[in-house]
């Protein structure tokens, strides 16, 4: 097959000296020095950079022109599996049932409520109407006030994750007060419904301050939001919330390894926040108030997979914590939810979830399922004084099911099963759980989904998905998207590699900082195991990962290029050394606990340099690669995939195409509409099919 010629990026050597080490970056020019403005206004992008990115997009479109029909077909299949006029299960809160629904053809939902027990609908927020005429529109948080009189939402219209918060009076429909600009997507009403707490993003797109304003600004309001808390450490993230029993407003300060929670009594919402337990590096905790006591989830005192403590103190400093649910290695306590008479904790054991319901008297029972691989998530609800909680069950073969669960009687009520309009027969498919031996002997779980009659002789193409960072577990969930490959005879495999928390928090700790290479070798071990077990042949695997999973893709492309028939790297974090050395970028200081600080620590510099995909590109035959990005992405900036693709093309000794697709109107999450996003997934999957059909041109 004759391919068009790719764009050739100019090489402009840029010498960087750091900690006595020197490196040259020929493509540093792709970073627009005005990138902060580009986040807010993509039209501000420097002309030469825009010209190059548009040339890359045109090249990718030309190379994949023959896949247009397949992309359209896959998109139609995925869209056909979505119930267009879908609605969430109503969540009761006092006199109202709150829910979100979609209208046929709509990209965005309508938020609404009805009187509890039935009655006329009241529209709270029509996202579809607000999105009209906008290339990008995404609502982050959206909440009603505790007195049910106001509705607030945070909207991002660039993909930059700078949100604008608006508050509406539900009686009149009028907006209350001026909008909040440059906000983080998180906010909270005080339990008295008199105050709105919100988080400001600074000029480097970091959440750094918590402000308070009247929920209903009156004529006497000076128009100046009051500073509640300012975080001096650029490496910390901020969050705001309210305790389950409405006793406190909570300000969460933390990163991947350290937590501090500050408390404001709900009875005195203008009081200064007080630290529950001052931060200690390496100690994480989450807490909630359970009527007469605090419940604390923590890894303190060597509880790697976390334990639960209780405290009767007004301010629960660590000295007042008493062990309650002891730490058990291998039983990872992932979270909990408090109700007036019960506490539900979520646990994960060997990459399988379960819920444990405990009554006030200490009696407890387990909620679990029997499938070989499944996901079970606690959804909870608005109400505290109830015996009903809600959870969602799903598996690779089983669509999502929403259950209301009576914690006292143990009765399950199925409220909704995800409807697949085009039809879905779970009996056609089989899900399996395998284990691959890592180089150090650890057993790495793999979840497979395939048609029941797919042969296990190595002939089937296989997509291997991985992430492996930040402690995020890859749960064995149901996906209407993956079926477009599986129904074509593909096997979908998820590698539960270290760096995630699939097998506990220790699984995460064994895949970060100096142990980060375990993430990459685990993924390769999973691929080798699937070849050895004859699920797939070497070179017939499409590797797929996004963001930090895109870094994984870059690493395994360098380490074992002959294993892969294709690599899809979505918004890939591949320029690790340069990004972790640039303190102006939004996530650099907050991410040093994950990767190390190469500005001050020579060991961290050398470690990152040893695997950073951009820095480790070498002269070898790379497989077909598709890298994608978003121009207004504040998490993985557009120039990371752009630079990586340029360097790959410069060094590859093979003929396989290396493609770049930048969404010029979106950020980290891609297109904001529920259908538009599927077009991007269809492109990824069509590329995988196209690339493996050529393998590359029978090399």
Asked whether 590 and 558 are in contact (CB, 8 A), the reply is: no
Please, which residues have CB within 8 angstroms of residue 643's CB and are 6 or more apart in sequence?
A: 25, 27, 28, 30, 574, 575, 614
Which value, in Å, is the radius of gyration of the alpha carbons in the chain? 25
Rounded Cα distance, 200 and 563, in Å: 45
Please, which residues have CB within 8 angstroms of residue 118's CB and are 6 or more apart in sequence?
A: none
Choose, from 484, 633, 672, 684, the residue flagged as catalytic.
633
Rounded Cα distance, 683 and 66, in Å: 12
Rounded Cα distance, 75 and 685, in Å: 10
Beta partners for residue 393, in sequence order: 376, 401
292 an active-site residue? Answer: no
Choose, from 311, 547, 581, 632, the residue flagged as catalytic.
547
Nearest by Cα to 196 from 185, 208, 187: 187
Rounded Cα distance, 586 and 689, in Å: 36
> Tokens at residue 367, please?
């909620």
Exposure of 416 by Cβ count < 10 A (0-12 exposed, 13-18 middle, 19+ buried)? middle
H or E element in which residue 274 lies: strand 274-275
Beta-strand relationship, 122-126 and 226-230: unpaired
DSSP 277-330: S---TT--EEEEE-SSSEEEEE-GGG-TT-EEEEE-SSS--GGG-EEEE---TT
First-to-final CA distance of the chain: 12
Beta-strand relationship, 307-311 and 322-325: antiparallel
Choose, from 484, 501, 668, 672, the residue flagged as catalytic.
668
Rounded Cα distance, 450 and 435, in Å: 17
What single DSSP character describes residue 698? H
Rounded Cα distance, 519 and 416, in Å: 37
Asked whether 628 and 636 are in contact (CB, 8 A), the reply is: no
Q: How many Cα atoms sit within 13 Å of 585 on the Cβ side? A: 26
> Tokens at residue 266, please?
């709900």
668 an active-site residue? Answer: yes
> Tokens at residue 364, please?
């407890």
Residue 92 CA to chain centroid, in angstroms? 27
695 an active-site residue? Answer: no
Nearest by Cα to 153 from 179, 190, 134: 179
Residues noted as catalytic: 547, 633, 668
């Amino acid at each position: 097959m004759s391919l068009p010629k790719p764009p050739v990026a100019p090489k402009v050597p840029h010498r960087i000296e750091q900690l006595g080490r020197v490196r040259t970056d020929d493509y540093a020019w792709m970073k627009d020095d005005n990138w902060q403005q580009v986040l807010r206004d993509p039209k501000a992008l420097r002309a030469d950079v825009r010209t190059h990115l548009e040339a890359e997009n045109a090249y990718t479109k030309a190379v994949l022109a023959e896949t247009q029909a397949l992309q359209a077909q896959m998109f139609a299949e995925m869209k056909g599996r979505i119930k267009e006029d879908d609605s969430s299960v109503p969540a009761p809160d006092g006199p109202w049932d709150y829910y979100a629904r979609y209208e046929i053809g709509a990209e965005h939902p309508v938020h609404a409520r009805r009187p509890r027990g039935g009655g006329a609908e009241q529209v709270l927020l029509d996202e579809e109407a607000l999105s009209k005429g906008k290339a990008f529109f995404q609502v982050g948080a959206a909440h009603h006030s505790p007195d049910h009189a106001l509705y607030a939402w945070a909207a991002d219209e660039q993909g930059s994750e700078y949100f604008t918060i608006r508050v509406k009076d539900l009686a009149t429909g009028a907006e209350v007060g001026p909008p909040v600009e440059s906000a983080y997507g998180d906010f909270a009403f005080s339990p008295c419904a008199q105050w709105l707490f919100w988080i400001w993003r600074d000029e480097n797109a970091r959440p750094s301050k918590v402000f308070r304003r009247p929920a209903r600004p009156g004529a006497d309001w000076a128009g100046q939001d009051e500073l509640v808390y300012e975080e001096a450490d650029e490496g910390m993230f901020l969050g705001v919330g309210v305790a389950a029993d409405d006793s406190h407003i909570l300000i969460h300060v933390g990163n991947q390894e350290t937590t501090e929670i500050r408390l404001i009594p709900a009875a005195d919402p203008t009081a200064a926040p007080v630290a529950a337990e001052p931060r200690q590096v390496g100690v994480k905790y989450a807490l909630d108030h359970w009527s007469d006591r605090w419940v604390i989830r923590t890894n303190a005192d060597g509880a790697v997979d976390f334990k639960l403590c209780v405290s009767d103190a007004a301010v629960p400093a660590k000295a007042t914590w008493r062990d309650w649910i002891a730490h058990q290695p291998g039983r990872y306590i992932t979270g909990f939810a408090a109700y007036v008479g019960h506490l539900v904790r979520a646990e994960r054991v060997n990459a399988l979830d379960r819920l444990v319901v405990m009554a006030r008297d200490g009696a407890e029972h387990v909620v679990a399922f029997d499938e070989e691989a499944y996901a079970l998530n606690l959804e909870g609800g608005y109400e505290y004084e109830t015996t009903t909680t809600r959870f969602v069950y799903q598996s690779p073969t089983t669509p999502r099911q929403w259950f209301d669960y009576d914690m006292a009687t143990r009765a399950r009520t199925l409220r909704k099963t995800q409807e697949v309009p085009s039809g879905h027969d779970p009996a056609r498919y089989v899900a399996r759980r395998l284990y691959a031996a890592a180089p150090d002997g650890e057993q790495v779980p793999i979840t497979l989904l395939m048609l029941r009659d797919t042969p296990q002789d190595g002939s089937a193409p296989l997509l291997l998905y991985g992430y492996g960072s930040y402690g995020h577990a890859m749960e064995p969930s149901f996906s209407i998207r993956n079926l477009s490959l599986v129904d074509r005879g593909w096997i979908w495999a998820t590698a539960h590699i270290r760096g995630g928390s699939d097998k506990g928090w220790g699984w995460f700790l064994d895949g970060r900082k100096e142990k980060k290479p375990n993430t990459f070798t685990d993924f390769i071990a999973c691929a080798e195991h699937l070849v050895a077990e004859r699920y797939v042949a070497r070179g017939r695997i499409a590797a797929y990962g996004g963001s930090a999973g895109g870094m994984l893709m870059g690493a395994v492309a360098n380490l074992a290029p002959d294993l892969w028939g294709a690599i899809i790297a979505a918004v890939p974090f591949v320029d690790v050394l340069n990004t972790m050395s640039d303190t102006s970028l939004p996530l650099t200081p907050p991410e040093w606990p994950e990767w190390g600080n190469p500005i001050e620590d020579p060991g961290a510099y050398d470690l990152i340099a040893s695997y950073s995909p951009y820095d480790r590109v070498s002269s070898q035959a790379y497989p077909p690669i598709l890298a994608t990005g978003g121009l207004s992405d504040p998490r993985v900036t557009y120039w990371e995939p752009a630079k990586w693709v340029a360097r790959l093309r410069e060094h590859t000794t093979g003929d396989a195409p290396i493609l770049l697709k930048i969404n010029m109107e979106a950020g980290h999450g891609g297109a904001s509409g529920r259908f538009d996003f599927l077009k991007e997934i269809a492109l990824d999957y069509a590329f995988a099919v196209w690339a493996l059909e050529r393998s590359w041109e029978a090399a």
